[in-house]
Structure 1
Amino acid sequence: MSVLRSVVLGTGSCLPERVVTNAALAERVETSDEWIVQRTGIRQRHIAAAGETTSVLGARAARAALDAAGLGPGDIDLVICATSTPDHTFPATATQIQAALGIDRGAAFDLQAVCAGFVFGVSTADKFLVTGAARRALVIGAETFSRIVDWEDRTTCVLFGDGAGAVVLEAREEAGARGVLSAALRSDGRYREKLYVDGGPGSTGTTGRLRMEGREVFRFAVGQVADVIAEALERAGATAADLDWFVPHQANRRIIEASADKIGIPRDKIVMTVDRHGNTSAASIPLALDAACRDGRIRAGDLVMIEAIGGGFSWGAALIRW
């Protein structure tokens, strides 16, 4: 019996040209390449140039995803942009991407779940597609975190980078198990002070700067992310042993490896890009997905788990048959 599922047709990504190495950061704040690599696994990150806004990066990634899917703007009737660094308070960055691509039908809106935004975006798009509310969706994760980090705070400025990634999803009648199989999403606003931005239009009238309690985030991430991974697997009737690839939020190598170890996912099944991208928040998973698709690791039929945790806290996981 066939089932209507949200199937991935293509992926795309965009990284700013400017690369900032750990050595370059060490000239600005008291840190070192050894210190950063040992604690995070990050060796470099991309930083957006003047004029490279979140929507600019997002539109480039979306075009690449459309090209990979063999589709054009007229084929899309839903655009979701997961971002914590929108171009403007309003209108939504997704509408700016929609306009840049020449999409003139359907809905476009932003989704804010910080680093977990792309997982939330995929799950949201899936609900539109399997209910018939939309036929094809662009789900984009795009960020310019370099504009909200405190470049004097060495504990946070070394972690983040800019970029965008995108996937095209289509509602298809599938006789097999291809497509988005399950998702598990969580939020708990009691942990706001652990990872947040200390400003906003409704509070201070300013953009604010990112603040984080690193040890607390690490502890919470390893414990809670494993639970949503297990739930997503259970809902799909799968186990960790069934996974071909684990594509986590690229925040910190130690968090990624500890989470995989806890759920029983072999490290050779982890797609890791944190070393060259840094933490690009909602963009990190689609950037990693695109890298693994283009280098041939992720192939048709593979079972892929994506997961992330972000400020709030908000966290989630989704299981996709490629």
Structure 2
Amino acid sequence: MNIKISGIGSYIPEKSISNTDFINHVFLNEDGSPFGHPNEVVVNKFKSITGIENRRYANDQFTTSDLGYFAAQKAIANANIDPETMDYIIFAHNFGDVKHGTIQSDMLPSLATRVKNKLQIQNPKCVAYDLLFGCPGWIEGVLQANAFIKSGMAKRCLVIGGETLSRVVDDHDRDSMIYSDGAGASILEASTDESGMLSYESATFANEEAGYLFFGKSYNTDLDPDTKYIKMYGRKIYEFALSNVPAAMKSCLEKSGLGIDDVSKILIHQANEKMDEAIVHRFYKLYGKTPPKDVMPMSIHDLGNSSVATVPTLFDQVLQGKIENQEINKGDVLIFASVGAGMNINAFVYRY
């Protein structure tokens, strides 16, 4: 029995923030000293590395659970199902609901419970819980739904990935330009044909890698050191991803019984354009090949890095024809893959 994504939906915030909006920011080094380069230079170099020109921020009145609810509504409609028939709601995120203008994370009750409440689902046997797994959270939620359905514990699951990273960034850290907001949602159930998940891979590297992404103080030493923001060691993450993600993808593909030439698309976490390109090139190099043109759709240029939301929103955007020169057709073999805080890596091979 294969498990398929029978419905997909995403919520892309309306507020678009361009690179030029950062021209007047005061960027500092980690020790609080002036960065030493004009912001125009900083922004141009940032774009050349990450590929990001714009990113989306949620409207002030919305939180992560709101974005997840909006995406869930679309996924339910896309699957044409009764919400009361869902057995699980899994909400993958990192920071809970952080209201605009506050610094406190709110996860009580869970974001999944909040979405269930907003959907007005009456069935108490629809179990709602949150999943903290860094950027690969949505994929991990899909893997858990796969296990639930195959074991007979569930027939239908809603898996959501959402985040409002704009609420937890340090404005004095250049990395703040990477992050964005958004949500994607999917309905998972048993497949009635050959479509669905064919294999999967998941891993956590928690030795020296555990601290590559963390909560740290602002680079502005005049601010409260006990107020924390998302921080990362970008070079270490880049090297870790290139060393480990291609091998995980190869292992996952081998488990499926398919070959590299069977792959139609690679839907990878939208972390950094240069890093994603390097991962895919190294993956194909493991087979002595180079990646085909357009094998890797990208949404990061306009949407930024919305962490756990990037993969499901990318999938939805491609299916809706919103990414130029990209389409997915019946029977196509897709590889979904992600890497993020933990450090966690996961992937699954999927026949559409």
TM-score if structure 2 supplies the norm length?
A: 0.85
Determine whether 1:17 maps to 2:14. Answer: yes
The Cα shift of 1:267 comes to 4.3
Contact preservation (8 Å) 1:148, 1:207: no
Equivalent residue in structure 2 for 1:274, among 294, 300, 305:
300
Distance 1:278 1:29, change over 3 A: farther
**Count of residue pairs brought into register by the alignment:** 312
Determine whether 1:170 maps to 2:189. Answer: yes
Determine whether 1:320 maps to 2:330. Answer: no
Determine whether 1:70 maps to 2:80. Answer: yes
Determine whether 1:197 maps to 2:194. Answer: no
The Cα shift of 1:173 comes to 4.4
List alignment gaps of at least 5 residues for structure 2: 28-38, 98-105, 218-225, 285-290
Distance 1:308 1:56, change over 3 A: same
* Equivalent AA in structure 2 for residue 169 of structure 1: L
Corresponding residue for residue 111 of structure 2: 93
Corresponding residue for residue 253 of structure 1: 273
Corresponding residue for residue 299 of structure 1: 329
SS at match of 1:209: strand
In proportion to residue count, which structure has more helix? Answer: 1
The Cα shift of 1:5 comes to 1.8
- Any runs of at least 4 consecutive aligned residues in structure 1 with deviations exceeding 3 A, and if so which? 29-33
Alignment partners' CA distance in 2, 1:134 and 1:299: 28
Corresponding residue for residue 288 of structure 1: 314
Equivalent residue in structure 1 for 2:64, among 45, 54, 57:
54
Contact preservation (8 Å) 1:16, 1:47: yes
The Cα shift of 1:300 comes to 2.3
1:170-189 alignment to 2 at 5 Å? 170-174=189-193, 176=194, 178-189=195-206
Considering only aligned residues, what root-mean-square deviation do their CA atoms show, in Å?
1.8
Corresponding residue for residue 202 of structure 1: none
Alignment partners' CA distance in 2, 1:84 and 1:293: 26
Corresponding residue for residue 114 of structure 1: 134
Alignment partners' CA distance in 1, 2:108 and 2:176: 26
SS at match of 2:135: helix
- Per-residue CA deviations over 1:112-144 (Å, capped at 9, x if unaligned) read 111111111111110001111111111111001
Alignment partners' CA distance in 2, 1:291 and 1:89: 28
- Could you tell me the percent identity over the aligned residues? 32
Return the index of the structure with the highest Cα Rg.
2
Alignment partners' CA distance in 2, 1:66 and 1:207: 38
Alignment partners' CA distance in 2, 1:255 and 1:96: 35
The Cα shift of 1:207 comes to 6.7
Alignment partners' CA distance in 2, 1:108 and 1:133: 14
- Per-residue CA deviations over 1:58-94 (Å, capped at 9, x if unaligned) read 0000111111111231232211111002122322111
Alignment partners' CA distance in 2, 1:186 and 1:102: 35
- Per-residue CA deviations over 1:219-258 (Å, capped at 9, x if unaligned) read 1111111111011101111122211110000000011111
Distance 1:42 1:29, change over 3 A: farther
Corresponding residue for residue 6 of structure 1: 3
Determine whether 1:160 maps to 2:190. Answer: no
* Equivalent AA in structure 1 for residue 332 of structure 2: D
Corresponding residue for residue 250 of structure 2: 230
